[in-house]
Amino acid sequence: MTDGPMTNLSVSIGGGLTLKNPVMTASGTFGYGDIYASYLDLSLLGAVVVKGLSLKPRMGNPPPRIMETPSGMLNAVGLQNIGVEAFIEEKLPFLRSFQVPVIVNIFGESVEEYGEVAGILDRIEGIHALEVNISCPNIKRGGITFGTDPSAAAEVTRRVKEATRLPVIVKLTPNVTDIGAIARRVEEAGADAISLINTLRGMSVDVEKYVPHLAVVTGGLSGPAIRPVALRMVWEVRQAVSLPIIGIGGIANARDALEFLIVGASAVQVGTANFINPRATLEVLEGLRSFMERKGIVDIGEIIGSLRIRLEEER
Amino acid sequence: MAGTRQVMTAVILRQQEVLPGHFLMTLSCTPGMATPPSPGQFVMIRRMGEEHPFLFRPFSIYFSSFPRGEDRLDLFYRVAGRGTEIFSRMAKGEKLAIIGPLGRGFTVFPEKKTLLLAGGGMGIAPLYCLAAALRDRLEKGGGSVTAYFGCRNADFLPVLKKFAPLCSSLRISTDDGSYGFKGTVVELIRSDLHQYDPAGTVIYGCGPRPMLKSLSALGRKYGMAGQVSVEERMACGVGACLGCAVPVKTADGDTAYVRVCREGPVFDFDAFQG
């Protein structure tokens, strides 16, 4: 699995952070890196993005929490996590033993909490960037999701930036009308990169029992079913901002990843596919290499944003 | 640090409809499993190379053996949804992707001499694996194994009778009274409970959630140790997705959600909350 001398897969994802390749894991699908370490060599990945962390541990939602849907799944885990302190003490030492950048996904219920979590992680050795999940309810403002409100999204971004020297990636929710507008505000607020998309809100019903399949009624849709929506949104954000973009949404193989890179993402995250194939990330990586060899592409940068649109013909 | 666990390939050796809608599928896994499965553990299976069903499905292990160095697994299941419906139509020679063995199985306590198995409906699957593993101990005179099974009606008897050579005795209840005790399996156990010394007895249960709830409540009430094997929908089966959470009582008396795939699927009576 060594790179040929002629193939450069390294990408810059903002804030001075360069990854040896553009393939990482998506938060919430890879635990704290410990789960899948016996299935693949983590050090081959571009980065590991760990499960979202909050200031205090969170119990999560009651079961049932998941349901399979056509080419995807709904989840309503409810941001269950061990809390930032336990992560640092119990999980980070193991992750540090691999030669792989660690990106920590964080969230809060208030702007202040985002800042606090970011501040705690800022002082910790072995963390390479923060990914800010803004798809959570703002408790102080009646539970409206930060990521659906442009000024709240900007406020969270600013606060996290103030609290840390680490590169800050803001992860956008797709449950908005104009994702480009949110992306612009996040860029203005100082984000180093943007990742998208988080899950799409969905629902599924057991018709025999007249009950929703998820205990909390609605959940987040992920998997190949959302890929075309994710790709369209990455395209929109590409046109709205100049920040590096990390594409997420139903990526299971190299062809999927290439779609995102061509549209303008500098890197990708593999999420739900890990559940079906724990080595999906490495297979994406291998597939990217063989694509580049086949096309005679030396630097992956040649692929990023290479979409050709035949507007001339339409006129 | 190279990966040591992997998604394996399983070939279907046999697919038998034991009862209408109930299938016994025999698989041969290559390469062999990293560790031999223990009773109560499960595997995740998925149709090889197909897009549907999307996710792996968890199946408890009904029986495992290792002829000529290959891993052979029997899975006993009822067609209950799209996944099991698709599996039931798969034929000998077809391939499955398989991950396992997974989870924490039953604990065998050397000091407990009286072992009660309590199965409701399809809950007998992991108990068959357990009974088979306990057979040696039983033959060497290491106490007794009594199997209590509850089912809707007498149609299920051919499946239950397979336990006869593995147990000291077999006690059966049916909902409609068409065979054995009329009522639930937990009611049947309660009616026999005076025969057992609580300190020397352990109960192993698997079945529908309400049954496990009343079984663990019964055990706690009479001071009998026991374990239940729990079912929950899963996405990954290995602990990453947190989809299969169930509430348990922690050592300090709080409630926490833990993963059926990792901390379970077998839980002590004291921890299980239904």
Q: Domain limits of chain B?
A: 8-100, 114-231, 233-265
Phi, psi of A215, rounded to the nearest 5 degrees: -60, -35
Contact (CB<8Å) B240/A29? yes
The per-residue pLDDT string of chain B (274 residues; one tens digit each, 9 = 90 and over) reads 334 688 999 999 999 999 999 999 999 997 778 788 999 999 999 999 888 899 999 999 999 988 777 789 999 999 998 899 999 999 999 999 999 999 999 999 988 999 999 999 999 999 999 999 998 888 887 789 999 999 999 999 999 999 999 999 999 999 999 999 999 999 999 999 999 999 999 999 999 999 999 999 999 999 999 999 999 999 999 999 999 999 999 888 899 999 999 999 999 999 998 7
Q: Which of A23, A55, A136, A194 is catalytic?
A: A136
Q: Helix, strand or coil for residue A171?
A: strand
Query: Which H/E stretch holds residue B204?
Result: strand B201-206
Contact (CB<8Å) B54/A279? no
Which token pair is B154?
């007498």
Of A35, A38, A60, the CB nearest to B3: A38
Examine residue A89 and state whether it is found in any structural domain, yes or no: yes
Q: Residue ranges of the alpha helices (H) in B28-101?
A: 82-88
Q: Helix, strand or coil for residue A276?
A: helix
Alpha-carbon distance B185 to nearest alpha carbon in chain A (angstroms) = 25
**DSSP letter (8 states) at residue B94:** -
**What's A239's domain CATH number?**
3.20.20.70
The pLDDT value recorded for residue B2 is 38
Of B5, B55, B242, the CB nearest to A77: B242
Rounded Cα distance, B95 and B149, in Å: 33
Number of domains in chain A: 1
> Is A136 among the catalytic positions?
yes
CB of B242 within 8 Å of a chain A CB? The answer is yes
Q: E strands, B207-273, where? A: 225-229, 245-249, 255-259, 266-268
CB of A36 within 8 Å of a chain B CB? The answer is yes
- CB contact at 8 A, B224 and B216: no
- CB contact at 8 A, A288 and A304: no
Contact (CB<8Å) A39/B6? yes
CB of B33 within 8 Å of a chain A CB? The answer is no
If you search the block for the tokens 């954000």, which residue do you land on? Answer: A237
Q: Kindly identify which residue of chain A lies nearest to residue B260, measuring between CA atoms.
A: A63
Contact (CB<8Å) A73/B239? no
CB of B4 within 8 Å of a chain A CB? The answer is yes
Rounded Cα distance, A170 and A311, in Å: 32
For strands B201-206 and B181-182, give the pairing. unpaired
Rounded Cα distance, B247 and B257, in Å: 4
The pLDDT value recorded for residue B3 is 42
Of B51, B240, B245, the CB nearest to A275: B240
Q: Kindly identify which residue of chain A lies nearest to residue B46, measuring between CA atoms.
A: A276
CB of A148 within 8 Å of a chain B CB? The answer is no
Q: Kindly identify which residue of chain A lies nearest to residue B55, measuring between CA atoms.
A: A276
Q: Angle at Cα A218 formed by Cα A216 and Cα A219, nearest 5°?
A: 100
The pLDDT value recorded for residue B182 is 95
CB of B232 within 8 Å of a chain A CB? The answer is yes
- Rounded average pLDDT per 10-residue block, chain A, 315 residues: 71 96 97 94 97 96 96 96 97 95 96 97 95 86 87 97 98 97 98 97 96 96 98 98 98 98 98 96 97 97 94 63
Its domain, for residue A74, covers 11-314
Q: Kindly identify which residue of chain B lies nearest to residue A252, measuring between CA atoms.
A: B51
**Quick one: which of B171, B83, B163 has its CA closest to B131?**
B163
pTM of this structure: 0.94
Nearby residues of A309 by Cβ (< 8 Å), 6 or more positions away: none
Nearby residues of B237 by Cβ (< 8 Å), 6 or more positions away: B42, B44, B56, B58, B99, B100, B102, B261
CB of A62 within 8 Å of a chain B CB? The answer is yes
Which token pair is B66?
């290792």
If you search the block for the tokens 């979590």, which residue do you land on? Answer: A117
The pLDDT value recorded for residue A283 is 97
Q: Kindly identify which residue of chain A lies nearest to residue B34, measuring between CA atoms.
A: A38
Examine residue A116 and state whether it is found in any structural domain, yes or no: yes
Rounded Cα distance, A20 and A12, in Å: 9
CB of B5 within 8 Å of a chain A CB? The answer is yes
Third-level CATH fold of B114-231: Rossmann fold (3.40.50)
Contact (CB<8Å) B236/A40? no
CATH 2.40.30.10 fits B8-100, yes or no: yes
Contact (CB<8Å) B244/A62? no
Rounded Cα distance, A97 and A91, in Å: 11
For strands B144-151 and B225-229, give the pairing. unpaired
Of B1, B51, B56, the CB nearest to A41: B1
Contact (CB<8Å) B54/A274? no
Of A41, A274, A277, the CB nearest to B240: A274
Of A38, A66, A72, the CB nearest to B241: A66
* Dihedral (CA of B263, B264, B270, B273) sign: positive
CB of B110 within 8 Å of a chain A CB? The answer is no
Contact (CB<8Å) B54/A36? no
CB of B274 within 8 Å of a chain A CB? The answer is no
**Residues of chain A contacting residue B233, judged by C-beta atoms under 8 Å apart:** 63-68
CB of A75 within 8 Å of a chain B CB? The answer is yes
Examine residue A1 and state whether it is found in any structural domain, yes or no: no
